[in-house]
Chain A
Amino acid sequence: MTDTSHDLRRVLAPKTVVVVGSKRADAYMWLRNYSTFTAGPVYSVQIDPNEIPGIEAMGVKNYTSLMDVPGDVDYVMCAVPRPVAPRVIADCAKKGVGGVALFTSGFAETGEEEGIRLQEQVLQIAREGHLTLIGPNCMGLYNRKLGIRQSTDQGHGEAGDVGFISQSGTHAINFGLVGEVHGVRVSTSISIGNAIVLDVPDYLDYLTDDADTRVIAMYIEGVKDGPRFVRSLRRAASMKPVVVWKGGVTDAGARATASHTGSLATSSAVFRAIVRQCGAIAADSLEDTIDVVKALLHAKPATGRGMGLMAMTGGQSVVITDAFVNAGLDVPRLSAASYEQLASFFNIIGGSYQNPLDMGGTIGFGGSAETLRKLFEILDADPNVDAIAREMASGFLARMWQSNPASLDGLLDTLAAHKQRSAKPFVAILQPQHVEDVVAMARKRIQERELAVFASFERGARALRRAVDYHRFRAGLD
């Protein structure tokens, strides 16, 4: 049984940090990860005299015992060799620290006897000492605002708004890194490792109540206490969007079963159903998770499925329609009022406005801001349109954006002004095409304006569809 009385705020938003076992061999990784910690002191605990000078050279005060560290300690990162781990964990309990993340690995995940025995020992000590323990075999905490990181590549400073829970240290780090490139910033991310004391529901409950966290995402491979997971997930999803990326979807073997139902109920099929039943959102990969989070964060909420689509050429008009229809969204005819307005100025030589608006010839590839604004206004006012997606024609326009960045800024300002004015979700599709470098620059500028931008029609459509599904669930539709 998991002890649910842990006060996670103290350990996940700490004011004092201690690294136990920092060493030259890993280039003082944890002290460097925490070098950006701003809320209070970072201390080191290391008994090896060969290691201490290197630690002190970083300007970090070292102690030879956790018990000697002055004052309260909120967060301990423990990176000692595994035979020493039980002793450090006992010290953490004795000291009454806020919590400890155990980076040390070689426990039950090895499947070998010694590892299992040590894990049991650590668990006993933690339980008896009512110790909040993250891990073992984990990368601990990433708190962007406080500058506590899992990797020195991760950003720090301004608070992010996405909480992340990960059974894998790699995916925890990558969600922080790749998310940031896509305008998705972490509030609090926890690499939970073997999760012997605190488990997914503990962190989920914390992030559900965390005011900085607007959206929660997680990477999980398995669940220990199914009913408890379901309760936490239901509660979380009733308060904010939760995206669940489940690793290991292929079943190793068929379930031993006597019934027909049993042979069909693969664990992944059941898990996906439970995610939906709880009102959470299933994702398939890191990119997919980030896409959905992006749509939830940066596009406005909507419960309708009618798309107003904008593309610059005929070919793109066709395939943007395919992508959104395939994702389960609708591309309806516009209202009579919209058609009447469009007929008065839309250039139908090499274009059309049935929906999608094939508008290259109307706004021109130089991009008339005035005309574009007018098109946005028509779609925004159209009762058949619930959300708008726009193809950016990067393949044709990137060179111009490169030589004349003001042209890009002008275009993006028009998009941003539309987003601000409109209550309908807006997504931009910016394909890398043959101009990946320019597109990377353009994407950064789009994201600075907090617009939801996707690398393909399919990704944008699938992400928006699931955001709409979530809002429909919350609204009691479907």
Chain B
Amino acid sequence: MLETKITRRVFLGTTAFVVSAPLLASLPVSESKIGLQKILEPGQFFDAKELTVLVDIAEIMIPRTDTPGASDAHVIPVLDALMLTWAGTETKQRYRAFIKQADKLARDTYDSAYQDASQAERVALITELDKRAFANKFSDLSINYRKLKEMIFHIYYTSEEANPDYMLIPGSYKGCVTRAEYKQMVDERLGRVS
């Protein structure tokens, strides 16, 4: 039932995507284990409602597993700050537009605002959007989504939480070591050897 709703009402109607694959095939609902984290105060750029949606989407993209997730890495607070120091006019418009588009997708699909949809529904929605955004890169929604995704991933993978083995000062270069030797050298460099 859900598949049909997304196919016809959301992606055909809103984004002009052509549906060609079964939906929800690749992402178990249980993957994102946290519920929606409602943000109560506005950030420097985004308002509280926008931040709520963004934090949820970022966590769906990069959930906490055996390694930190997007929330652990403070991805959206960093993004909020970057909107003032990095983002240009178009990006600011696109990110805000995407939040509205995500909300409209949720309403068209589930008859509820994005933040009122269930966790399973939100995960399903973003997962399907991700698939289609890369299948058809020319729609406005696709562009907005992919730009936001790139930034969320960039912030996450440049975070301290995502780089536990990062060495500011390696001290030397060795061009041919085994993984075990590498790990030992990193541990020694980072003072993790007892």
Bound pair (A, B): no
Which residues in A have some Cβ–Cβ distance to B below 8 Å?
none
Which residues in B have some Cβ–Cβ distance to A below 8 Å?
none
